Amino acid sequence: MELTDKQIQIIETAERLFAERGFDGTSVRDIAHEAGVNIAMISYYFGSKEKLMEALLEWRVGSIKIRVESLIQDDRYSPIEKVNMLIDEHIDRAMQKQPFHKIMVSVQVTNKNPAILKAANKVKLRNAKVIAELIKDGQKKGVFKKKIDLIFMLNTLVGTVNQSMMSLDYYREFNGQMDMPDEAFQLTIKRKLSIHIKTLFKAILTNES
């Protein structure tokens, strides 16, 4: 599906507002107003508010899949290196596209719309399958444990990152870093998160005791 500039403009505005206020908390009036377009354009372009949400998911998701798969298939890295890259990749993406990831959380917690939930699950399933391959490869090479619960592992990755992302302000306040510039703070967080999660994954994946 090809998207015009105006459609992308609408989608990006919707993404921000859906993340900030939730789907039901955002009116098409608000979206249209902030995107600088006529209210009728949302229905005109996307059919409905729900279809707009679906278009938004598809648009963001479409760009993700290619990067993950190509990263996995690269033969220059060891399984453990690949896992680490995956972690960094996910953290980067989550921090950079915070609104989108917040929406993904919303979609899952409020499983009101089956179509949207299904779309979200499809993405998760595809990613899970790709990573399952990576795990198997590591197990075959003897560097990973034999018993690994893939879903829990991914839940820890996604859950920890999401939880951290959702409580950035809280973290700042708790550590007294209210004065640190945004960019510097985000860099710090990303670095710390990376180390933290890699430590966790090492414990889950490898036999080191």
- What secondary structure does DSSP assign to 77-141, as a single string? S-HHHHHHHHHHHHHHHHHHTHHHHHHHHHHHHSTT-HHHHHHHHHHHHHHHHHHHHHHHHHHHT
Q: Does 112 bind DNA (CB under 7 A)?
A: no
Q: Give residues in contact with its own copies (CB under 8 A).
A: 19-25, 102, 105-106, 108-112, 121, 124-125, 128, 149, 151-152, 155-156, 158-164, 166-167, 169-171, 173-175, 192-193, 196, 199-200, 202-204, 208-209
Spatial distance between the Cα atoms of 142 and 122, rounded to a whole number of angstroms: 30
Instruction: Give the contact letters, 16-35, x = binds to DNA (CB under 7 A), - = no.
Output: ----------xxxxx-----
Report the nearest approach of DNA to the CB of residue 167 (Å).
Answer: 27
Report the nearest approach of DNA to the CB of residue 52 (Å).
Answer: 7
Report the nearest approach of DNA to the CB of residue 113 (Å).
Answer: 12
Report the nearest approach of DNA to the CB of residue 186 (Å).
Answer: 31
**Hey, what are 62's tokens?**
């479409």
Distance separating the N- and C-terminal Cα atoms of the chain: 51
Spatial distance between the Cα atoms of 209 and 194, rounded to a whole number of angstroms: 22
Give which of DNA, its own copies, none residue 47 binds (C-beta under 5 to 8 Å, depending on kind).
DNA
Q: Which residue has the tokens 């993340």?
A: 19
**Hey, what are 1's tokens?**
């599906």
- Out of 22, 48, 81, 175, the residue judged to bind DNA by CB under 7 A: 48
Q: Does 14 bind DNA (CB under 7 A)?
A: no
Give which of DNA, its own copies, none residue 39 binds (C-beta under 5 to 8 Å, depending on kind).
DNA
Report the nearest approach of DNA to the CB of residue 97 (Å).
Answer: 23
Q: What share of the chain is helix, strand, coil (3-state, %, to 5)?
A: 80, 0, 20
Give which of its own copies, DNA, none residue 177 binds (C-beta under 5 to 8 Å, depending on kind).
none
Binding site for DNA (CB under 7 A): 4, 6, 26-30, 37-45, 47-50
